[in-house]
Structures are given as structure tokens and as C-alpha cells.
Amino acid sequence: ALNTDISSEAYRETRDISSSVAQTITKLQEVDQSRQEFVSNVSHELKTPITSIRVLADSLMGMGEVPVELYREFMEDISNEIDRESKIIDDLLSLVKMDKSEAELNITQVNLNVLVEQILKRLRPIANRRKVELIFESIREVTADVDEMKLSLAITNLVENAIKYNMEEGWVRVTLDADHKFFYLKVQDSGIGIPEDVQDRIFERFYRVDKARSRETGGSGLGLAITRNVVLMHKGAIKLSSKEGEGSTFTLRIPLNYIA
């Protein structure tokens, strides 16, 4: 009887070990697969502008005598594609930096009202060009412990999107509020909205609802992934509520006092 007990215990142990080994392998395979997917997405995204540049340059070269206006038009397109490529590379570098476990926040006390004003001032020319009104509703003065550069990037991405995916004569309203624990930053727009079934997916790297529109507006497809990373690094949360054709609201909730 004793023998059987021992062997059945040994059996159980072996079974437990092999099942945890199997779990680890599955986990590693998943990590490897998502890494492969990411690399393949990156390659594809980086190739797209290059391919356009190739086509534009080849057609220019194949044309012989080119009127100066046409030449300028092609050059403008090439220049836009170069900007797009640079944006993808910059965004990728930001993401990769944040992914490293040693990525650290440079926390200081920041007046968020001033920060939001600065961001809106920088984006106002883009909004004006698209005839979108930018409104800042500051419910109270808020000072918080944050990484100013990273948070600024996160908010800029949200406001830029709210401008890009808007309608002509639309508006974007940024609201800043706080309680004793958190600050709340809301970016609301009167734009095209996001279909319910993809609302979870838009935070994924390179996911876009409308590829053509994102391309046209020079998006890298990485903006929301960066924003979410920054928010999580601050131990905060990001929430989206949106209705197609009516607009979207992104809300950040971030602790006022950062505790490492």
C-alpha cells in the first residue's frame, strides 16, 4: 500500500511538473508569436511609405520633360511620405523605450492646467486648418506628480486624434478635473466615432478603423498604444465611450501622487 502511495505521489508530482512545463511552453510560444506578428507589422508599416516614394520617384524619372508644377506636386507627395516614415520611426522608438522594464518615469510636480494650455496652443493651427474648435474646460487647478514629457505625448495623441477624426466645423473639448486622489482628463470630440465592436482593439499597435483616413492624416497607428502605455506607467486607467457618427470621449484617470 505504501509503495503505491509513493508512486502515485511521484506520478502526481511528475504530472504537475509536466503540465506546468507545457503551460510555460505555450506561454513562450504565445510571446514568440506576438513578437513575430509585431515584427511583421513593423516591416509592413515601414515599407509602405518607401514603396510610395519608389513609385513617385520612378514615375517622375520616366516622364522626361516635366512641367515644374507637376514636378512640385510629386515632390510634395514624396516629402509627405518621408514625414510619415519619420513619424512611424519616432513612435516606434517611444514605444520600444517604454517597453523596456528599466523604462523610468521622470516624475516632477506639474501644473496640468498649464500643460494642457501648452498642448492646445501647439495644436491650434492644425485644428484651425480643419475648422475644428478647441475648447478647454478647466474645472479646477490641478497639480500632480507626473512625467511631464510622457504625459504631454499621451494627451497630444488624444487631442490630435480628436481633431483628425472629426467633421468640418466640429469641436474638441478637453476637461480637467480632480478629486482628492485622482485627476481626470477628458478629451471629447464631435467626430466620426468608433464602432462598438472595435473599441477594444484601437489601443493595439497599428490597429486602425479606417486605414485610408489614418494614412491621409499621417497617422502611424501607434498613437493610442503609446497613450495607453503612458497611462499604465502612471498607474492610471483609460476609458473610451463612443458612438458611430456622434463622437468619442477618452477619459484618463491618473493618481495625483505617484507612488513607485
Residue with smaller CB distance to ligand ADP, 146 or 226:
226
248 belongs to the binding site for ligand ADP (CB under 6 A): yes
Query: DSSP secondary-structure letter at 165?
Result: T
The C-alpha atoms of residue 119 and residue 80 are separated, in whole angstroms, by 23
Least Cβ distance, residue 131 to ligand ADP (angstroms)? 16
Instruction: Please report the DSSP string for 58-104 in residue order.
Output: HHHHTTSS--HHHHHHHHHHHHHHHHHHHHHHHHHHHHHHHHSTT--
Nearer to ligand ADP, 112 or 188 (CB): 188
Q: Contacting ligand ADP (CB under 6 A), which of 45, 85, 147, 189?
A: 189
Among residues 160, 181, 206, 235, the alpha carbon closest in space to that of 47 is found at 206
Rule CB under 6 A: say whether 53 interacts with ligand ADP: no
Residue 209 as a binder of ligand ADP (CB under 6 A): the answer is yes
- In angstroms, the CA 163 to CA 33 distance is 35
Out of 9, 32, 210, 246, the residue judged to bind ligand ADP by CB under 6 A:
210
Enclosing H/E stretch for 40: helix 2-61
Query: Rounded to whole angstroms, how far apart are CA atoms 239 and 202?
Result: 12
Q: Which of residues 150-179 bind ligand ADP (CB under 6 A)?
A: 157, 161-162, 165
Q: What's the grid cell of residue 92?
A: 516606434
**Residue spans of alpha helices (H) in 130-208:** 148-164
**For residue 145, what is its C-alpha cell?**
506628480
- Closest distance between ligand ADP and the C-beta of residue 205, in Å? 8
Residue 124 is a binding residue for ligand ADP (CB under 6 A)? no
Nearest approach, Cβ of 84 to ligand ADP (angstroms)? 10
Q: Which residues from 213-232 bind ligand ADP, rule CB under 6 A?
A: 214, 219-225
Closer CB to ligand ADP, 144 or 188, in the complex: 188
What is the longest distance spanned by two Cα atoms in the chain? 97
Comparing CB distances to ligand ADP, the nearer of 126 and 209 is 209
Minimum distance from CB of 189 to ligand ADP (Å)? 5
Q: How far is the CB of 260 from ligand ADP (least distance, A)?
A: 28
User: Residue 108 and residue 152: Cα distance in Å, rounded?
Assistant: 13
258 and 234 Cβ atoms separated by less than 8 Å? yes
- Candidate ranges 26-34, 59-67, 77-85, 185-193; the one touching ligand ADP (CB under 6 A): 185-193
45 binds ligand ADP (CB under 6 A): no
Given the rule CB under 6 A, which residues bind ligand ADP?
157, 161-162, 165, 189, 191-194, 202, 207-210, 214, 219-225, 248
